[in-house]
Amino acid sequence: MKRSLKAFIFDLDGVITDTAEFHYQAWKRLAAEEGIPFTRKDNEELRGVSRERSLELVLAGREYTAEEKKLLMDRKNQYYKELITTITPDDLLPGVADLIKKLKENGYKLALASASKNAKTVIKNLELEEVFEYIADGYSVQNSKPAPDLFLFTANKIGVSPENCAVFEDARSGVEAALAANMLAVGIGPAERVGIADYVYETMADVDLDEILGERE
């Protein structure tokens, strides 16, 4: 489909910076305290997934009350918040700074759409606050990815029609959400994970903007 792209929406974790490792360490600490096995491979399933859903995956059917689950999530978030205090602009993934610069120079609107309730803190620590016209985070909508809601909400906030938006996403659920929102989906990572996207690149440093913009009318 020919599109006239006007805006680029970035996911955060796995696209701009690799907070997946910090999420892993925080969940791992919590799981160890609860006597639950949790591996790096298990953590892959949590990519792009909300905190609530992540907890369900970590618990893997173990029975906890709603109150206990809330306390577990608070504890994990406390551990995660300690870890993200160490984030600096050096933690941008390779290729991201260049890409942002090129897109800005060419007049595209940029926004962030992350499932994380900590997105604003991470963006502040990366010193990217001035870059995005709008930052949508884990507080913005009720239905998390793969529902299109977060991306539609973001497009609305920046005043661009969904069909004129492109999304950078590293999670399958995020690519599904972008496609469901009728946006151009750029998948970052292996084809097994993001192969359903319109364009797929292994890392952000591999993104070929000319190829993507070739879609421009």
| Among residues 3, 5, 6, 13, the one that binds ligand B16 under rule CB under 6 A | 13
Inter-axis angle of helices 51-59 and 66-84, nearest 10: 110
Residue 217: CB minimum distance to Mg ion, A:
29
Residues 6+ apart with CB under 8 A from 125: 84, 85, 87, 88, 91
198 binds, among ligand B16, Mg ion, none (CB under 5 to 8 A by kind): none
28 binds, among ligand B16, Mg ion, none (CB under 5 to 8 A by kind): none
Residue 71: CB minimum distance to ligand B16, A:
15
Q: Which stretch binds ligand B16 (CB under 6 A): 40-48, 61-69, 124-132, 204-212?
A: 40-48
Amino acid letter, 50: S
Provide the residue count of the chain: 217
Residues 6+ apart with CB under 8 A from 2: 215, 217
Query: Does the protein bind ligand B16 through residue 176 (CB under 6 A)?
Result: no
Alpha helices in 35-131 (DSSP H): 40-44, 51-59, 66-84, 96-105, 119-125
**Residue closer to ligand B16 (CB basis): 3 or 14:** 14
Q: Is 13 one of the catalytic residues? A: yes
Q: Is 210 one of the catalytic residues? A: no
DSSP code at position 24: H
- Catalytic center residues: 11, 13
Point out which residues bind Mg ion (CB under 5 A). 11, 13-14, 48, 170-171
